[in-house]
Chains A and B, each alone.
Chain A
Amino acid sequence: MKKILLLLSFLLFNQCNALNIAAHKTRKMGITVAGVGNDTENLRMVCDTISNDLSFPGQFDLKVTRLLKLDDKIGPKTYKQNGPLLLAVTDKASDNALEWRLYNTRSGKTIAAKKMVKKGKSVREWGHALANRVLETLTQRDGFFSSKLVYCKEPVKEKRKTKICVADFDGKNEAVIADLDTLAIAPRWNNNTILYSEYTAENMRLMWTDLKGKRHVATSFDGLNMLPSFSEDGKDIVLCLSAEGSSQIYRYHYNKNKKQAEYQRLTENDGNNLSPVILSNGSIAFCSDFETKRPQIYIMDKNGNDIRRISQGGCCTSPSYSPVKNKIAYSKLVEGVSQILVYDIDTEQTKQVTHDRAHKEESSWSPCGNYLVFSVSDIKTKRLAVYNLLTNKRRFITDANYRYSYPCWSGNRLLFPNLG
């Protein structure tokens, strides 16, 4: 009898139900960044940089603290001050490295414990590099904190005087690379150097500059010389030239035998062809008005054949490409307002990303493919903004005291010297 009763109660107890739950709200994950050891200026700057970087995506709530020693006996469970994550950073000056440990204070488990060799002399860059690693560990996504932005900056009143500036991904630590007495547009990254176009009395020439401000002329044909684009390996270069009439797209090639540069024309039409962008498979996306007399976005193969249109209606300009996401972002006039649209090459679907009433132009992708930077202009101001495609939130990264335009986002794995 007892055995029968026990069997019955066991069968009654064991019932399993599966349930799918979707979240109705989001919450930032708390992280405490603790500098462990002697309180040095370097360690403080590294911790502050990490805190600033990790708060940018809007997923974490950061708090910086100081610890003389990380007590292993008590365990990280005691450090539940600000959320479940604790990042302990130690400066190992003797090894020229930063040691970092990431703990889950709820369970007391160590998530990661690694050493990072310091590269370069900039302490801020060490912080950016470490923040990249922490972000990759926590979210399985590539970090982008080591990347830079280059853009044009003009005073509001004194026009036709442009400064070429470089800043961190969040617009901070701005450094002026070139202070020009003429109008300049469209700076583009090429590894650690920048190419931009500037107006002269005869033409618009393409200039090359390094991060220290040393400049020389790249191309100076009649008419327009602008908007160069580089392949990922840097071997393929396309740009816009209008020496033969209207703006056409050319491929640059250096002939070693003849020891001279050669330009192969890729587009053969009567329209204006601008903003070429080299895709991962070697194809080229560009903006042209040859077909509809209004600028549209096209894709052609690397030899200029097989042209197909990917945009519909409106005025579509300024294509930019993300090799990570294989998507093209461009500007389009929608109901009289310039909006940012994203075209997925794999699915051939287009999605409008922005919807507000200010004009958005000249977008550029972050190296991780999750952010877009573009200029936002209204009646009075022209500022730069970064749009988070994951959270659909936008934030301004420049002030309203100047006019900012033509932002371009660099790659992530470049080592930038101390700019300021």
Chain B
Amino acid sequence: MLLWQQLRLSRKKKFLTKLFFYSSVFHACLCFVLFFVYARYSSRPVIQVSSTGADVIVKLIPFAQKAPKQSVAKTATRFVKNAPKKVAPKAQPKKVLKHIPNKNIKPFKNKDIKKAAPNKKPIAQKQPVQKPVEKKEQDIKYVTRKEFDAVLVEQALQDAIAQVWAPPAGMEETLVCEVALTVGWNGELVATSVEHSSGVVVYDIAVEQAIEQLKFPRQTWGKTVRVAFKP
């Protein structure tokens, strides 16, 4: 026997209770299914912020699961790095030439013309006006919302770590120390695990020092981040 059948409620109240219960369950199931589908098709993007370059425009495609390779879809440009602003050329007023009347003009004679000395200096050639280079398709990177959020997180984290990461001089360029950092909801470091040691004691200790001094940006709170420290 269902609960509302045991309760002594009026017909109207029973109907409303049933409606509320069934709609709640339906909505919960719908959310659950949608979330699973969303999580399944979303990847865990590993995008190096440095690889985007300083002149690459990152364009967000909302509600897209996968970023297209080449498409000129309607996009919302929210994150642009060093993109030149397009300014509409100002309308130049037309020049009006004044008509000079033929009064008091002396007729010229050939005697008045002196031969100019040959110009020894090379004539400077006018350089053609350089048109602004239009961004090609390959300079524009289309990303989904998840990838876009990952880029923001990585950029914030990269800026924070760059201020504290300072290994001793003379380390080999091939050294890498990978750590997984779990950040709490209040920004404090909850757990650290070394996934791949560099094999050099002083290098690993320098990584420990950097992690100790690190202030985690807000975008990383409540997340686990993996960082590879390179010299």
In the complex, are the beta carbons of A18 and B229 less than 8 A apart? Answer: no
Per the bound structure, the CA–CA distance linking A361 and B33 in Å amounts to 75
Per the bound structure, the CA–CA distance linking A204 and B226 in Å amounts to 66
B64 proximal to A (CB < 8 A): no
In the complex, are the beta carbons of B158 and A391 less than 8 A apart? Answer: no
Per the bound structure, the CA–CA distance linking A140 and B230 in Å amounts to 17
Instruction: Return chain B residues, CB-CB under 8 Å to A58.
Output: 169-170
B15 proximal to A (CB < 8 A): no
Per the bound structure, the CA–CA distance linking A25 and B210 in Å amounts to 12
Instruction: Return chain A residues, CB-CB under 8 Å to B230.
Output: 20-23
In the complex, are the beta carbons of A21 and B224 less than 8 A apart? Answer: no
Instruction: Return chain A residues, CB-CB under 8 Å to B216.
Output: none
Task: Give, as a whole number of angstroms, the nearest-CB distance from A178 to chain B.
Answer: 36
Question: Known contacts A15-B223, A17-B150, A18-B228; is A24 also within 8 Å of B162 by CB?
Answer: yes
B67 proximal to A (CB < 8 A): no
Question: Known contacts A24-B162, A27-B168, A106-B212; is A15 also within 8 Å of B202 by CB?
Answer: no
Instruction: Return chain A residues, CB-CB under 8 Å to B46.
Output: 17-18
In the complex, are the beta carbons of A29 and B32 less than 8 A apart? Answer: no
Task: Give, as a whole number of angstroms, the nearest-CB distance from A138 to chain B.
Answer: 5
B231 proximal to A (CB < 8 A): yes
Question: Known contacts A8-B35, A106-B209, A390-B169; is A22 also within 8 Å of B231 by CB?
Answer: yes
A74 proximal to B (CB < 8 A): no
Name which residue of chain B comes closest to A60, CB basis: B168
Of B161, B168, B205, B209, chain A has the most CB atoms within 10 Å of the CB of: B168
Q: Which of A29, A140, A388 contacts B206 (CB 8 A)?
A: A29
Name which residue of chain A comes closest to B36, CB basis: A11
A303 proximal to B (CB < 8 A): no
Instruction: Return chain A residues, CB-CB under 8 Å to B165.
Output: 21, 23-24
Task: Give, as a whole number of angstroms, the nearest-CB distance from B179 to chain A.
Answer: 10
- Say which size band chain A's interface belongs to: 35 or more
Per the bound structure, the CA–CA distance linking A390 and B173 in Å amounts to 10
In the complex, are the beta carbons of A19 and B169 less than 8 A apart? Answer: no
Instruction: Return chain B residues, CB-CB under 8 Å to A243.
Output: none
In the complex, are the beta carbons of A390 and B225 less than 8 A apart? Answer: no
In the complex, are the beta carbons of B224 and A19 less than 8 A apart? Answer: no
Instruction: Return chain B residues, CB-CB under 8 Å to A28.
Output: 168-169
Instruction: Return chain A residues, CB-CB under 8 Å to B169.
Output: 26, 28, 58-59, 390-391
Per the bound structure, the CA–CA distance linking A7 and B39 in Å amounts to 13
Residue pairs across A and B with Cβ atoms less than 8 A apart, 23 shown, are: A1-B28, A15-B44, A16-B224, A19-B226, A20-B228, A21-B165, A21-B228, A23-B162, A24-B162, A26-B168, A27-B166, A28-B169, A29-B202, A29-B206, A57-B170, A59-B168, A59-B202, A85-B202, A104-B208, A111-B201, A370-B170, A390-B169, A390-B170
Q: Which 10 A-B pairs have the closest CB atoms?
A: A390-B170, A27-B166, A59-B168, A18-B226, A26-B169, A391-B169, A138-B202, A391-B170, A20-B228, A22-B230
Q: Interface on A for B, CB 8 Å cutoff?
A: 1, 4, 7-8, 11, 13-29, 57-60, 84-85, 104, 106-107, 111, 137-140, 370, 388, 390-391
Known contacts A26-B168, A84-B208; 16 further A-B pairs (Cβ under 8 A)? A16-B44, A16-B223, A17-B44, A17-B46, A19-B154, A23-B230, A23-B231, A24-B162, A29-B202, A58-B170, A59-B202, A85-B202, A138-B202, A139-B201, A139-B202, A390-B170
Q: Interface on B for A, CB 8 Å cutoff?
A: 24, 28, 31-32, 35, 39, 44-46, 48-50, 150, 153-154, 157-158, 161-162, 165-171, 180, 199-202, 205-206, 208-209, 212, 222-231
